[in-house]
Amino acid sequence: MERNNLYPIFLKTSNLNVLIVGGGNVAEEKLTFLLKSSPDAHVTMVSPMFREGTISLAKKGCVTLVEDIYNKAYLQGRHMVVATTDIPEVNVQVWKDCRAEAKLVNVVDNPPYCDFYMGGIVTKGNIKIAISTNGKSPTTAKRLRQFFEDVIPENIDDFVKNLNEYRKTIKGNFEEKVEKLNEFTKSLIE
């Protein structure tokens, strides 16, 4: 059976600089999901043109729109890059430039040119679940996201906050604390 070997991480995008190359539908979709998950993300978009929806969306976040064609100078100071243009040669050039400068890059819909995938995300307060299908099926990730949004109770954040307060009051060594927390949270999965 094939295995997903991706390593999931949660990025503090307010501390990073993200570049999106492109200004069409796909670029707007990537910006939408990025800002939905991380409203404080620092994003620069480079494209000869931008959709009206992208311009409106940019005003709601920390997004800079640059009307220009891609140039590798735009990689300076960027931590991760998403290439979304409808010109394959431009996307591959973005990938090559990112490789040369050790930048994380995602060329949309082209897994061999991706260091990371942007998966389905469920957020309920402090709880965040990221879903990956190893780049195989965005539709499956979408359905799983919808499932988790339905089954995770809205008040889960209250539970997390209360558990954090309870954790501060527990006495004993690390193992004893873990055992008490495990016993206390067992009801979540039963």
Whether residue 163 is found in the same domain as residue 76: no
Amino acid at 144: L
Rounded to the nearest 10 degrees, the angle between the axes of helix 52-60 and helix 25-37 is: 20
pTM: 0.85
Residue 49 within a domain: yes
Residue 57 · residue 41 · CB < 8 Å: no
**At residue 7, does pLDDT exceed 70?**
yes
Residue 104 within a domain: yes
Mean pLDDT is lowest, of 3-7, 36-40, 132-136, 140-144, for: 132-136
Mean pLDDT is lowest, of 40-44, 48-52, 108-112, for: 108-112
Residue 1 within a domain: no
Whether residue 18 is found in the same domain as residue 111: yes
What's the structural domain count of the chain?
A: 3
Residue 130 · residue 152 · CB < 8 Å: no
Tokens of 85: 């243009």
Query: Torsions phi, psi of 81, nearest 5?
Result: -135, 140
Q: The domain that contains 93 carries what CATH number?
A: 3.40.50.720
* pLDDT tens digits for range 113-147: 999 988 889 988 888 999 988 878 888 988 999 99
Whether residue 17 is found in the same domain as residue 95: yes
Whether residue 175 is found in the same domain as residue 100: no
* pLDDT tens digits for range 58-87: 999 999 999 999 999 999 999 999 999 999
**Structural domain that includes position 140:** 119-151
Whether residue 114 is found in the same domain as residue 133: no
Residue 90 · residue 70 · CB < 8 Å: yes
* pLDDT tens digits for range 148-175: 999 888 888 887 787 777 777 888 787 8
Whether residue 70 is found in the same domain as residue 25: yes
Whether residue 112 is found in the same domain as residue 127: no
pLDDT value, residue 167? 77
Paired with 8 in beta bridges are none
**The residue to which tokens 């707007």 are assigned:** 28
Give the integer Cα–Cα distance in Å for 136 and 87. 22
Whether residue 38 is found in the same domain as residue 111: yes
% of the chain surpassing 90 pLDDT? 61
Q: What pLDDT band is residue 189 in, cutting at 50, 70 and 90?
A: low
Question: Quick one: DSSP state of residue 22?
Answer: -
Residue 7 within a domain: no
Whether residue 28 is found in the same domain as residue 77: yes
Whether residue 107 is found in the same domain as residue 29: yes
Amino acid at 106: N
Query: How many other C-beta atoms are found inside a 10 Å radius of the C-beta of residue 46?
Result: 24
Residue 24 within a domain: yes
Whether residue 37 is found in the same domain as residue 72: yes
Residue 6 within a domain: no
CB neighbours of 70 closer than 8 A, spacing ≥ 6? 21, 46, 85, 90, 93, 94
pLDDT value, residue 158? 81
Whether residue 99 is found in the same domain as residue 180: no
Query: How many other C-beta atoms are found inside a 10 Å radius of the C-beta of residue 7?
Result: 6
% of the chain surpassing 70 pLDDT? 98
Q: What pLDDT band is residue 190 in, cutting at 50, 70 and 90?
A: low
